[in-house]
Amino acid sequence: MIGILITITVGLLFSLLALRVRRSERALFKWAGSILSGLLAVVLFLLGGIALVGLIRIEAPAARPASNLQANHSPEQIARGERLAHLCTTCHSSTGDLPLDGTVLNFIEAPFGTIAAPNLTAGGNLDQWTDGEIGRAIREGIGRDGNALVIMPSQYLRHLSDQDVEALVAYLRSQPAVEHEVPETRLNFLGLVAVGTGLFPTAVQSDVPESTGAPPAGPTVDYGEYLVNFSMCRDCHGVNLMGGDPEGFVPVGPPLPPLVAAWSAEEFITTIRTGVDPDGQLLDGEQMPWATYSATFTDDELLAIYEYLRVLAAEGSVE
C-alpha cells in the first residue's frame, strides 16, 4: 500500500510540474518539459492504479463462505488423503516428499516479493482453520482470512470431490508436527502490478459447486477423466493435453493422448512407476514428476487415466 501511495504521489508531483513548466516563456522548455512531465505522471498514475487493482484482487476476492465440510479421520480416509497429498509436495515440502512442512517458492524467478507455501503440519497454524476453510483454500483459492491465494493450483483442485477433499483434510491433520518456520506470502509493488494486469493471476475460483462428487472408482474412462482434471496434467501438457505453451512458466509437455495411445497399458503404468518409457528413455523428474504420480495413483487409477487418454487420442481432440 505504501508503494502505491508513493507512486500516485510522485505522479501527482509530475502532473503539477507539467502545469508549472507550461508557464515558462521559453518555448522548448515549455513544451518538452510539460510533455515529458505529463507522460511520466500518466505512467505513474497508471502503474499505481493497476497495483491498486491487484491489491483489491488479493485482499477482497469474491467468494462464498467456507462450507461445513468435515473429515471423519478414519484410517481409510487418511490413507486416501496421504496418496493425494503427494501432489502437494512440489510446493508445500522442503524435501520434495511428505510431510508437507512448507517452503519458499524460489522457482518463481520474477521479483514479485516473497511467495511461500505454508507449513501444513501441526507445526504450522492449520489447527486454527476449520475443515471447511481448508477445503475452500484447496478448491477455491481463498485463505482463512479471506485473502486470495497465489500459485495454489485451485483451477485444477476445484475438480476434487467432497470425499477426496475430506480425505486430504484428514491426512493434513494427521501429519506429525514439523517445526519449520515459513514466511508469509507478501507481494511487492511489482507483484501487485502483475496481479492487476492478470499476468500473475490469483488462485480464486468463483464457480465451485456446493457439492462435488466423483464417478465410481475403477479403471474406467470417466474416472480417468476425473483423475486427470485435478492432477495438474494440463499445466504442462496444455488445456487440451495436446502440448504445452512454450511461452508459459512451466515445462512444455508433449501431446499426451497420441503419445500414450502408442503404448500398452502395462507400458504406461511401468513408465509412471519407473520413470523409463517404452523406448528406454529416462524421464526428467524435474520436467515430468513421474515419482509424484507414482506415489499418488494405484495401478487401477493409472489404468483409468490410460483409458481416458486413449479415448482422447481416438477422438483426435479434447474439449
Q: Are residues 94 and 167 in the same domain?
A: yes
Q: Are residues 234 and 272 in the same domain?
A: yes
Could you give the CA distance from residue 149 to residue 184 in angstroms, rounded to a whole number? 11
Residue 252's domain comprises: 221-315
Q: Would 195 be classed as within a structural domain?
A: no
| Number of domains, the chain | 3
Q: Would 257 be classed as within a structural domain?
A: yes
Q: Are residues 27 and 95 in the same domain?
A: no
pTM recorded for the entire structure: 0.86
Q: Which residues contact 81 (CB under 8 A, 6 or more apart)?
A: 71, 164, 166, 167, 168, 169, 170, 171, 172, 174
Q: Which residues contact 115 (CB under 8 A, 6 or more apart)?
A: 104, 105, 108, 150, 151, 185, 187, 191
Q: Are residues 19 and 45 in the same domain?
A: yes
Q: Would 101 be classed as within a structural domain?
A: yes
pLDDT tens across the length of the chain (319 residues): 677 777 767 766 767 666 666 666 566 556 566 777 778 878 888 888 888 898 999 988 777 788 888 999 999 999 999 999 999 999 999 999 999 999 998 866 668 889 999 999 999 999 999 999 999 999 999 999 889 999 899 999 999 999 999 999 999 999 999 999 999 999 998 999 999 998 888 999 977 776 678 999 999 999 999 999 999 999 999 999 999 888 777 889 999 999 999 999 999 999 999 999 999 999 999 899 999 999 999 999 999 999 999 999 998 754 4
Q: Are residues 33 and 98 in the same domain?
A: no
Q: Are residues 232 and 262 in the same domain?
A: yes
Q: Would 38 be classed as within a structural domain?
A: yes
Q: Would 66 be classed as within a structural domain?
A: no
Q: Are residues 101 and 174 in the same domain?
A: yes
**CATH number of the domain where residue 246 is located:** 1.10.760
Q: Are residues 43 and 90 in the same domain?
A: no
